[in-house]
């Protein structure tokens, strides 16, 4: 084979490889390569995330915080217990806690330790906020806990999105509100199996998760917002301490309660110890050698 043809074939091969890497690592941010790769990429990107996103506080206030608080107020929930799954650098906790009329407690959970570090820096001094290093799989909370569960710009990254969204519904209390985003921009068309058009997602939330009042609102250029409610009714959970809600991931039975200085947490049933980083992040993920498994049966009743 002549040399020119060989160089041409090598160039084509390199271009193909570059294209595949660009698609897998940049465009789709590791979503086809498993949760460890997603976590690693977000760890690497965490320091630049807020600069790249350029979140505008006024926009965030009027397009996220105010609609959330207004819906909660309609339900007479003045001090909600909120879970933000895949909280990243703490966008949602931050904008809620900045509102003078937000009297609730927010728990932000994410798989990327570095994203949580930046969240911790941003949220420093807010006592009514906790950050937890864990994946969406087998959420470490008891059933029917939160007044509001949110998940923004994230479910398309989840390894088993449908099962993982079921987890969000599990920890929402009956009558509680769910708010998730749905990716709709041109990128979403090149993410087969990871995205759904908004109408299909709404149908799925209704038919498969049994959620009600599922409505859609236009939000950002690339995302819609979907609101939904869990069937049934229960009293608001209110801003109770995290220790009442945090389920031990080891035995899935006891509560994790903090030491006096909150530098560590321990299970009331099996004694499992969990450390807290210097930035205050509760580090549950290192307890697992692999992706946490969902419990096969519903968790036991919350220990009061
Ligand atoms: C695009 S960012 C969105 C962050 C934040 N919600 C926001 O709106 O700015 C996606 C986030 O999802 C998190 N994530 C991806 N897969 C996850 C998983 N399986 N469990 C928990 N978090 C996950 C990533 O670490 C990242 O912080």
Fold assignment, 57-229: Rossmann fold (3.40.50)
Which residues neighbour 6 within 8 Å (Cβ) at sequence distance 6 or greater? none
pLDDT at 291: 54
> Ligand 1 mean position to 201 CA, how many Å?
19
Ligand 1 pocket check for 167: Cβ under 6 Å: no
Strand residues in the chain grouped as ranges (E): 81-85, 105-110, 129-133, 146-151, 172-183, 212-220, 223-229, 256-258, 264-267, 273-275, 282-283
pLDDT at 292: 62
- Digit-coded pLDDT (tens) for 228-243: 999 999 999 999 999 9
The domain limits of the chain are 1-30, 57-229, 242-287
Spatial contact of 141 and 293, defined as CB atoms under 8 Å apart: no
Q: Which two tokens stand for residue 140?
A: 């470490």
92-146 per-position pLDDT tens digit:
999 999 999 999 999 999 999 999 999 999 999 998 999 999 999 999 999 999 9
* pLDDT one-digit tens code per residue, 131-152: 999 999 999 999 999 999 999 9
Cα–Cα distance between 281 and 11 in angstroms, integer?
A: 46
**Above pLDDT 90, what percent of the chain?**
83
| Residue 303 pLDDT grade (very low, low, confident, very high; cuts 50, 70, 90) | very low
Q: What is the pLDDT of residue 265?
A: 94
Q: How many angstroms does the Cα of residue 32 sit away from the middle of ligand 1?
A: 15
21 CA to centre of ligand 1 in angstroms: 21
**221, 185 Cβ separation under 8 angstroms:** yes
The whole-model pTM stands at 0.92
Strand duo 105-110 + 256-258: pairing:
unpaired
């Amino acid at each position: 084979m002549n040399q020119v043809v060989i160089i041409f074939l090598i160039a084509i091969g390199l271009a193909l490889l570059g294209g595949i890497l660009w698609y897998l690592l940049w465009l789709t941010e590791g979503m086809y390569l498993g949760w460890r790769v997603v976590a690693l990429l977000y760890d690497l990107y965490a320091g630049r995330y807020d600069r790249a996103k350029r979140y505008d506080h006024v926009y965030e206030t009027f397009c996220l915080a105010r609609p959330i608080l207004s819906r909660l107020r309609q339900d007479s929930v003045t001090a909600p217990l909120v879970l933000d799954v895949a909280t990243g650098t703490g966008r949602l906790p931050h904008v809620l806690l900045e509102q003078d009329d937000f009297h609730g407690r927010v728990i932000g959970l994410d798989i990327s330790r570095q994203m949580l570090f930046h969240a911790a820096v941003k949220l420093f001094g807010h006592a009514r906020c906790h950050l937890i290093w864990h994946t969406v799989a087998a959420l470490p909370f008891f059933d029917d806990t939160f007044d509001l569960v949110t998940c923004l710009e994230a479910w398309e990254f989840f390894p088993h999105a449908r099962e993982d969204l079921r987890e969000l519904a599990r920890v929402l209390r009956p009558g509680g509100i769910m708010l998730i985003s749905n990716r709709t921009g041109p990128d979403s068309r090149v993410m087969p199996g990871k995205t759904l058009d908004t109408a299909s997602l709404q149908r799925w939330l209704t038919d498969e998760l049994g959620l009600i009042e599922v409505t859609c609102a236009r939000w950002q250029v690339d995302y819609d917002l979907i609101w939904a409610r869990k069937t049934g009714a229960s009293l608001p959970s209110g801003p109770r301490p995290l220790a009442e809600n945090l389920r031990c991931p080891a035995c899935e039975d006891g509560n994790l309660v903090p030491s006096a200085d909150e530098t560590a947490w321990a299970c009331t049933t099996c004694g499992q110890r969990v450390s807290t980083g210097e930035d205050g992040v509760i580090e549950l993920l290192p307890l697992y050698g692999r992706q946490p498994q969902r419990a096969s049966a519903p968790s036991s009743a919350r220990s009061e």
